[in-house]
Amino acid sequence: MIIKSLEQLNSFSKKIADYIEKKDCIFLTGEIGVGKTTLTRYLINHLQKKEGSKTTEVLSPTFNLLYEYDLKKFKIMHYDLYRLKNKKELDTLGIFQENENAIKIIEWPSLIKIPISEKIEIHLEYVKNKNERKLKLLGTGKWKILNEL
Ligand SMILES: Nc1ncnc2c1ncn2[C@@H]1O[C@H](COP(=O)(O)OP(=O)(O)OP(=O)(O)O)[C@@H](O)[C@H]1O
Ligand SMILES: [Mg+2]
């Protein structure tokens, strides 16, 4: 799918926000600066609106590895694993220990090898035009429906 602008990325993220539930997991892949955090920001802001929470700033967890957002019915855990070096470091984070009430959005998820039953991977790619991106979607479980988008 081609996304022509930030506005279109925002509309796309709303579709995901309408469909997502607690326990879901989103992997975001693609080169540095391609738009993973921007997509996450739109998505979190849509979810905050939908849940009647105040929209907040959504910053990149580049150095903190994780930022959490507490909404009324669930929380959102936004990870950026770019700085992780190995599986041991990944394990200390215990990402999948808390499954019940958390939506997980993970940038740079390549160290995660365990299968996840309900997951969508969104891969972003640069194209010629500066504000355009190509998106590839790979869903498992209920997210398979998005593969047709
Ligand atoms: N259509 C678009 N989709 C996504 N980002 C866009 C688009 N057009 C322009 N941009 C700009 O590209 C930049 C994307 O930066 P962002 O921090 O979201 O990337 P990232 O993939 O999270 O980077 P990193 O790998 O460092 O975490 C932003 O400045 C954003 O405004
Ligand atoms: Mg980022």
Average pLDDT, the chain: 93
Residue 147 pLDDT more than 70?
A: no
Tell me the per-residue pLDDT of 98-111, one tens digit each, with 9 for 90 and over.
Answer: 767 899 999 999 99
One-letter-per-residue 3-state SS of 102-128: EEEEEECCCCCCCCCCCEEEEEEEECC
Tell me the per-residue pLDDT of 9-60, one tens digit each, with 9 for 90 and over.
Answer: 999 999 999 989 888 999 999 999 999 999 999 999 999 999 999 999 999 9
Q: Three-state DSSP class for 63? A: coil
Q: What is the mean pLDDT of residues 53-72?
A: 95
Whether 114 and 25 have beta carbons less than 8 Å apart is answered as: no
pTM strictly above 0.85: yes
List all residues whose CB is within 6 A of at least one atom of ligand 1.
Answer: 3, 5-6, 9, 30, 32-38, 60, 80, 107, 131-133
What ligand 1 atom has the least distance to the C-alpha of 132?
A: 1
In the chain the beta strands, taken as DSSP E runs, fall at 2-3, 25-29, 66-70, 75-80, 102-107, 119-126, 133-139
Would the CA dihedral through 143, 99, 109, 57 be positive or negative? positive
